[in-house]
């Protein structure tokens, strides 16, 4: 009988394409679990963090793999806006979608600085996947055309 191996390298079984990785940051662990399960059903690899500082460190260490960040606004010890600014220091062209129960005016300030989208809670799964796909496929921002370190 042959051995069965589990692959954690982000590969889709039977497919040579690598899964697109999303980092989800939210202080609600149940919401993160739901988000992870839903997006994995659509073929994404999802990393989660309920700690803003841990999330920033995770992005720093794995930014070459992470295509998009889903970010809540209200987090313990740091606002989503502050997390966004920290992430932009690591990658000026970071693709972030704000997922929050706050009003759209909260996102307006961030959109002016490069936020790629906004989704107000509660939302539907089709809306979520469309925002994720739109943000991943969006062109590079004009202000971030400097070559990145490889």
Q: How far is CA 36 from CA 5, 11, 70, 73, 82, in A?
A: 22, 16, 11, 18, 23
147 occurs within a structural domain: no
142 occurs within a structural domain: no
149 occurs within a structural domain: no
For 39, how many CA atoms within 13 A lie in the half-sphere containing its CB? Answer: 27
Strands ordered across the beta sheet of 21-25: 45-49, 21-25, 66-71, 96-100, 117-120
Sort residue 148 into left (φ over 0), alpha (ψ -120 to 50) or beta.
beta
Q: Domain span at residue 38?
A: 21-136
pLDDT at 143 over 80: no
pLDDT of residue 102: 72
For the stretch 40-93, pLDDT in tens is 999 999 999 999 999 999 999 999 999 999 999 999 999 999 999 999 999 999
54 occurs within a structural domain: yes
The dihedral built from the CA positions of residue 147, 116, 137 and 70, taken in this order, carries a sign that is: positive
92 occurs within a structural domain: yes
pTM value surpassing 0.85: no
66 occurs within a structural domain: yes
Overall number of domains in the chain: 1
70 occurs within a structural domain: yes
CA–CA gap between residue 50 and residue 139 (Å, rounded) = 29
148 occurs within a structural domain: no
The CATH number of the domain where 130 resides is what?
A: 3.40.50.2300
For the stretch 96-135, pLDDT in tens is 999 988 766 778 888 888 999 999 988 999 999 999 999 9
């Amino acid at each position: 009988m042959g051995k069965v191996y589990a692959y954690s390298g982000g590969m889709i079984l039977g497919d040579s394409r690598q899964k697109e990785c999303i980092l989800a940051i939210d202080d609600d662990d149940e919401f993160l679990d739901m988000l992870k399960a839903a997006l994995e059903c659509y073929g994404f690899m999802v990393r989660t963090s309920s700690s803003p500082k841990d999330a920033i460190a995770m992005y720093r260490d794995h930014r070459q793999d992470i295509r998009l960040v889903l970010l809540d606004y209200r987090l313990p010890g740091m606002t989503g806006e502050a997390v966004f600014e920290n992430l932009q220091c690591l990658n000026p062209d970071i693709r972030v979608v704000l997922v929050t129960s706050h009003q759209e005016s909260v996102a307006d300030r961030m959109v002016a600085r490069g936020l790629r989208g906004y989704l107000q809670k509660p939302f539907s799964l089709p809306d979520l996947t469309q925002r994720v796909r739109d943000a991943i496929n969006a062109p590079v921002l004009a202000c971030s055309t400097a070559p990145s370190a490889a």
